[in-house]
Amino acid sequence: MLRGDLEDLDSFRGGAAASDGVIHTGFQLHRIARDQGVSMYVGDGLNRWTAVHRLDAARLSRLALEKGAAGTRFHGVAEEGIALRDIAGVIGRRLRIPVVAKSPKNAASHIGWFAAFAGLDCPASSKLTRERLGWHPVQPSLLADLERCSYFKKLSGRRIRGASWRLPCGGIWGSLGH
């Protein structure tokens, strides 16, 4: 039955939307940084990631289903390239932890399997998607979203390596040598 369902996808009316980059607000780097006590980037940190807010991605998926031709793929990119160093900088500032550069080899000890992706430079465009579907992202950018206090409130009150945390905007904050 599954095989037949998959074969029928070719005749499905709508297109498919995908994002190769960060879909926020499901972002995890702030949790890794909090747990490790440092916010890091790989190399010079100029490698770029694309991003799209989850609500913009959801709207794009709906438009792809409604307006897209069968088999068409659309690129869900609101931001074409954000330097990882900038992302790490906001996270470090918001968590009040150091921001450090790591070599690709040393990044694996810090962020595990994710290190293979952290050093990639992956700019992309959604120009054709925007033109064909009339999609225009309206939600906050990744950096603006990270700047929001509520983004980090989810981290408050958790115990990390014996520390409690008080976030700059309220919540519980502890010290890792600060």
Q: pLDDT of 108-154, one tens digit each?
A: 888 888 888 888 898 989 999 999 999 999 999 989 988 876 667 65
Tokens of 77: 């990119």
The predicted model scores a pTM of: 0.74
d(CA 129, CA 109): 38
Task: State the angle between helix axes of 84-95 and 29-36 in degrees (0 to 180), rounded to the nearest 10.
Answer: 50
* SS3 (DSSP) at 12: coil
Tokens of 43: 């190399």
Contact 42, 104 (CB under 8 A): yes
Would strands 39-42 and 99-102 be described as parallel, antiparallel, or unpaired?
A: parallel
Tokens of 170: 């309220």
* pLDDT at 156 > cutoff 70: no
d(CA 19, CA 23): 7
User: Mean pLDDT, the chain, as a whole number?
Assistant: 76
Q: In this predicted structure, what is the pLDDT of residue 137?
A: 95
Residue 74's DSSP bridge partners are 17
Residue 39's DSSP bridge partners are 99
